A and B are shown apart, each in its own frame.
Chain A
Amino acid sequence: MKRLIPLFALCIGLPAAAQTPQLILESLVAKAGPASVARGEQLYRGKSKAGKTADSCVACHTENPKAVGQHVKTFKAIDPLAPVAQKDRFTDPAKVEKWFKRNCQEVLDRPCTPQEKADFTAYMISVK
């Protein structure tokens, strides 16, 4: 029994935030309506006139969400967005919210709506 205690401690110590893309999608859908993959893809590929440095998501993430992207200003390589190509994508709700906040502002010059977040996430998960 004594030996089991560290094991329990280990389980409790696991990051509470770790989730699956599906669970994250479900909680986004709960705040919006049913998600649309097609609308999500439109958001991903659409050009925005309000963009400050990037006029679209694809400007940094490329036309192919499974490909390595590149920041338009810093030129840093960006891991693929689609969970199928990068397994830690959409597994940390706080990280997902943080980047929606930053990048919607960056590209659209406004926050994304809960519906847009759900659609976008649904599209990313649908990429095979």
Chain B
Amino acid sequence: MNDYGITWKHLASLILAVGATALVIEQAPAGDEAIFPMPAGKTYVNECGSCHTAFAPGLLPARSWRRMMAELANHFGEDASLDEPQHLAILKDLESLAADGPQANLRMRRISAAIPANAAPQRIIETGYFKYMHDEVPRHIWQRKKIGTPGNCIACHIRANEGRYGQGEVRIPPP
């Protein structure tokens, strides 16, 4: 026992407590980590993730998704049409998880705020948010064989189909 009344036991529990707190902070998703909610179940990834990344609904506002879903038979020149039950289920998920949807987080609301109210963009890669987040990626990187286009999110964001775009989960494929 010393003058301050601190024993090794006190010290040890203090260190433990600090360590535990650090762990909790480390593991808790930081409020601004780039994680987007994804529709539950496999339908979305199976149907909308077969030709490309299953884009997180939170990357576009609901009006964009409504228009896209109404034009699926001619979807960027391809037939992406769905049967009725799947169509309805996916539309519902897209609307509720959209950038301006009821469950939108701060990041998603920023995405939607940057899109003019009278616009219903169909391309994520043309949104201000996407361009801003990727303005440091040089052109020759996009042209790498395994990437090809900025729309190929999953080539770099390896967990994009789970809505995860955080910094620690980016792997740019080598040339």
Chain A residues close to B by CB (< 8 Å): 52-53, 70-71, 73-77, 101-102, 105-106
- Within the complex, the shortest CB–CB distance from A106 to chain B, in Å, comes to 7
Partner of B151, one of A52, A70, A74: A74
- Within the complex, the shortest CB–CB distance from A69 to chain B, in Å, comes to 12
Partner of B78, one of A70, A75, A77, A106: A106
In the complex, what distance in Å separates the CA atom of A70 from the CA atom of B53?
Answer: 13
Interface size class of chain B, counting residues whose CB lies under 8 Å from the partner chain: 10 to 19
Task: Verify A102–B155 contact, CB threshold 8 A.
Answer: no
Task: Verify A76–B77 contact, CB threshold 8 A.
Answer: no
Task: Verify A74–B149 contact, CB threshold 8 A.
Answer: yes
Contacts of A71 in B (CB 8 A): 51-52
Q: Does B79 contact A (CB under 8 A)?
A: yes
- Within the complex, the shortest CB–CB distance from B6 to chain A, in Å, comes to 57
CB-nearest residue of chain B to A105: B79
Partner of B79, one of A74, A75, A76, A102: A102
- Within the complex, the shortest CB–CB distance from B115 to chain A, in Å, comes to 22
Chain B residues close to A by CB (< 8 Å): 51-53, 76-80, 146-149, 151-152, 154-155
Task: Specify the main secondary structure of chain B where it touches its partner.
Answer: loop
In the complex, what distance in Å separates the CA atom of A11 from the CA atom of B149?
Answer: 44
Pick from A52, A71, A105, A106 the residue with the most CB of B within 10 Å: A71
CB-nearest residue of chain A to B155: A75
In the complex, what distance in Å separates the CA atom of A101 from the CA atom of B79?
Answer: 9
Pull 18 A–B residue pairs with CB atoms less than 8 Å apart, ordered by A: A52-B77, A71-B51, A73-B78, A74-B51, A74-B149, A75-B146, A75-B151, A75-B152, A76-B52, A76-B152, A76-B154, A76-B155, A77-B146, A102-B78, A102-B79, A102-B80, A106-B78, A106-B79
- Within the complex, the shortest CB–CB distance from A104 to chain B, in Å, comes to 11
**Contact status of A75 and B147, CB under 8 A, knowing A102-B78, A105-B79, A106-B78:** yes
In the complex, what distance in Å separates the CA atom of A102 from the CA atom of B81?
Answer: 9
Partner of A53, one of B53, B77, B152: B77
- Within the complex, the shortest CB–CB distance from B162 to chain A, in Å, comes to 16
Contacts of A53 in B (CB 8 A): 77-78
